[in-house]
Amino acid sequence: MKALVKADAAPGLELTDVPDPQVGPGDVAVRVLRTGICGTDLHIDSWDDWAARNVTPPLVLGHEFVGEVVETGRDVTGVKVGDLISGEGHLVCGTCRNCKAGRRHLCANTRGLGVHSNGAFAQFAVLPEQNAWVHRTEVDLDVAAIFDPLGNAVHTALSFPVIGEDVLITGAGPIGIMAAAIARHAGARHVVITDVSEHRLELARKVGVDLALNVSEATLADAYDRLNMSEGFDVGMEMSGQPSALQEMIANMSHGGRIAMLGLPAREFPVDWGSVVLKMLHLKGIYGREMFETWYSMSVLLQAGLDVAPVITHKFHYTEHRAAFDTTRAGRCGKVLLDWTEK
């Protein structure tokens, strides 16, 4: 089969022929239809310090996907050939304290599909049955391909109640934009999103935010004036990983405000912990999706009319992977997909 491979410990990827993956007793094999390009894939492509520490070539990368089941292992009972599935990319141990307690998203031994084991940037992929999410209702293939990052957005956006609340989202990447759409759908009073990219802020406007603020040209004080706010934001969602974003968020939270942090900083930075204490703020770290409560929430939200299609801006055939990666890295895009069906 054709697969996109990190062949060597160096920058670049190779589209090459590799053996079809073997199906274990508890595994399912899928014919991949669509995949989404993630920031993790960019790290592996460029072979930065993080990739060098975490990835052992050769590796088929990719963890955002949708596909059709073509084979099941002998012990598989809940998934059948012909099912349309998306994949949960966090492979958990099943034996640690949190796994045994049903808190699999907190597994201390989590491994990543497409990071620590061969992933889905290929014509066929294999994953454990417990990581397969079967779509029981009709879903657009492009949207199904991004259930992984949509899950990050849902997990973050629904970590705290947002009904009637003023919500601040820092970072208008695809996950931030989807979180804005979710907060609006879930009943937030005002949704404000910030970034320095006017292109991405325009995408955010398409999903119905009240204010998309370019913080290279304006400040959050402008949001107060435009939206007739006086006491700060009730719920914050930090998606950028930028120190200044979290610092500004803390400074503009209301007393008793709640912050969910998904953005991963590249370095340590100072935080005004005095404001955190005196305002009695709640800070919660978010990593991935709750398995599988978040997946249920995603499906229900889409059935109830949540529209995240505007965040998908580009689609390339897998043979055009270089252009797809270049487009993603340039940043003037939303979510970029690869189509793995034959032309």
Nearest-CA neighbor of 86 among 126, 153, 144? 144
pLDDT at residue 230, rounded to an integer: 87
Domain that holds residue 226: 154-285
Per-residue HEC secondary structure of 75-132 comes to: CCCCCCCCCEEEECCEECCCCCHHHHCCCHHHCCCCEEECCCECCCCECEEEEEHHHE
Read off the pLDDT of each residue in 260-276 and give the average, rounded to a whole number.
Answer: 95
Alpha carbon distance 3, 19 (integer Å): 9
Question: Do 279 and 198 sit in the same domain of this protein?
Answer: yes
Tell me, yes or no, whether 290 lies in a domain.
no
pLDDT at residue 170, rounded to an integer: 98
Q: Both tokens of residue 57?
A: 């070539």
Tell me, yes or no, whether 291 lies in a domain.
no
Tell me 57's DSSP state. S
Read off the pLDDT of each residue in 153-177 and give the average, rounded to a whole number.
Answer: 98
pLDDT value at 343 more than 80: no
Read off the pLDDT of each residue in 32-46 and give the average, rounded to a whole number.
Answer: 97
Q: Which residues are annotated as a binding site for NAD(+)?
A: 175, 195, 200, 262-264, 286-287
pLDDT at residue 313, rounded to an integer: 97
Tell me, yes or no, whether 299 lies in a domain.
no
Q: Which residues are annotated as a binding site?
A: 38, 63-64, 93, 96, 99, 107, 175, 195, 200, 262-264, 286-287
* Residue 182: CATH number of its domain: 3.40.50.720
Question: Do 131 and 170 sit in the same domain of this protein?
Answer: no
Q: Which residues are annotated as a binding site for Zn(2+)?
A: 38, 63-64, 93, 96, 99, 107
Percentages helix, strand, coil for the chain (3-state, rounded to 5) are 30, 25, 40
Question: Do 55 and 140 sit in the same domain of this protein?
Answer: yes
pLDDT at residue 266, rounded to an integer: 85
Tell me, yes or no, whether 295 lies in a domain.
no
Question: Do 91 and 21 sit in the same domain of this protein?
Answer: yes
Read off the pLDDT of each residue in 153-171 and give the average, rounded to a whole number.
Answer: 98
The pLDDT mean for the chain works out to 96
Q: Cα 253 to chain center, whole Å?
A: 25
Alpha carbon distance 158, 102 (integer Å): 19
Asked if residue 238 lies in contact with residue 257, where contact means CB atoms within 8 angstroms, the answer is no
pLDDT at residue 146, rounded to an integer: 98
- φ/ψ of 30, rounded to 5, equals -125, 145
- φ/ψ of 169, rounded to 5, equals -120, 125
Tell me, yes or no, whether 117 lies in a domain.
yes
Tell me, yes or no, whether 300 lies in a domain.
no
Q: Both tokens of residue 3?
A: 């697969």
Question: Residue 192: pLDDT band by 50, 70, 90 thresholds?
Answer: very high
Question: Do 18 and 122 sit in the same domain of this protein?
Answer: yes
The sheet carrying 253-261 orders its strands as 211-214, 190-195, 166-170, 233-238, 253-261, 282-285
Question: Do 273 and 196 sit in the same domain of this protein?
Answer: yes
Asked if residue 143 lies in contact with residue 335, where contact means CB atoms within 8 angstroms, the answer is no
Nearest-CA neighbor of 334 among 315, 304, 313? 313
Q: Would you call 40 a catalytic residue per the annotation?
A: yes
The sheet carrying 59-60 orders its strands as 14-17, 2-6, 59-60
pTM for the whole structure: 0.95
pLDDT value at 111 more than 90: yes
Question: Residue 28: pLDDT band by 50, 70, 90 thresholds?
Answer: very high
Q: Would you call 282 a catalytic residue per the annotation?
A: no
State the total domains in the chain: 2
The rounded percent of the chain whose pLDDT value lies above 90 is: 97
Which one-letter amino acid corresponds to residue 87?
Answer: G
Tell me, yes or no, whether 52 lies in a domain.
yes
Question: Do 74 and 182 sit in the same domain of this protein?
Answer: no
pLDDT digits (tens, 9 = 90+) for 295-306: 999 999 999 999
Question: Do 6 and 118 sit in the same domain of this protein?
Answer: yes
Give the 3-state secondary structure of residue 171.
coil
Residue 279, number of CB atoms within 10 A of its CB: 17
Question: Residue 222: pLDDT band by 50, 70, 90 thresholds?
Answer: confident
pLDDT digits (tens, 9 = 90+) for 229-263: 989 999 999 999 999 999 999 999 999 999 999 99
pLDDT at residue 342, rounded to an integer: 84
Alpha carbon distance 205, 195 (integer Å): 12
* Residue 77: CATH number of its domain: 3.90.180.10
CB burial readout 256-273, b (16+ within 10 A) else e: ebbbbbbbeeeeeeeeee
Tell me, yes or no, whether 74 lies in a domain.
yes
Question: Do 142 and 11 sit in the same domain of this protein?
Answer: yes
Q: Which of these is catalytic: 40, 110, 170, 294? A: 40
